Amino acid sequence: MSDVFPALPVEVHPLSGPDEAVLAHGPCFGLVSVRLEFAAGSVGEARAGSTALALEMLERGTLRRDRGGLRRALDALGARLGVRVGRNGSAVALRALEEVLPEALALLEEVLLEPADDAEELADAVAEMDEALEAERVEPGAVVGRLLGPALWPGLPWAAPSDGTRASRAG
């Protein structure tokens, strides 16, 4: 197996506090993937979904660019931005070609450090999350996923769904 999947060269760079950046180099044909992982996922039932909503807002613009402007800037570079939230952690990911990496990283920095504070975008994000929640009601896998957390981890933050409920997002 090691011949088929040789170990990737890895660099570890200490950051402030206990955090570190781990870089793995592989044959990606000039494509660079950056993934920032945060040990912040579910925060308990009362605030379930707050992390998911905050990460969703990262894709909806910055103080300098509205959602369309951010998308156009990423598209012009051929870069992609994505967010993920789960019970154990959250992640922000960026993919870009090596030759535009400095510009793409500058956009990522803008997204992370200067998120938009747009009430209309926030209302739209909440409405979209509510619509997704309604759609899940008829998806057997989603229903089981929502019931499994409280059964496995009663009283713990992981019991709450990472995308929350209408009540937890309203509150």
- CATH code of 116's domain: 3.30.830.10
The confidence score (pLDDT) of residue 66 equals: 94
The confidence score (pLDDT) of residue 117 equals: 86
User: Which residue, chain included where needed, has tokens 């957390």?
Assistant: 149
Domain count, the chain: 1
Residues written for the chain: 171
Report in angstroms the alpha-carbon separations of 76 from 9, 68, 69, 107, 121.
31, 12, 10, 12, 23
Domain presence at residue 152: yes
What global pTM score does this model have? Answer: 0.73
Q: Are 115 and 57 in contact (CB under 8 A)?
A: yes
Residue 31 φ then ψ, to 5°: -95, 130
Q: What's the domain range around 96?
A: 10-163
The confidence score (pLDDT) of residue 8 equals: 67
Average pLDDT, 10 consecutive residues per value, the chain (171 residues) = 55 67 68 80 63 87 95 97 84 91 93 90 88 85 81 78 70 59
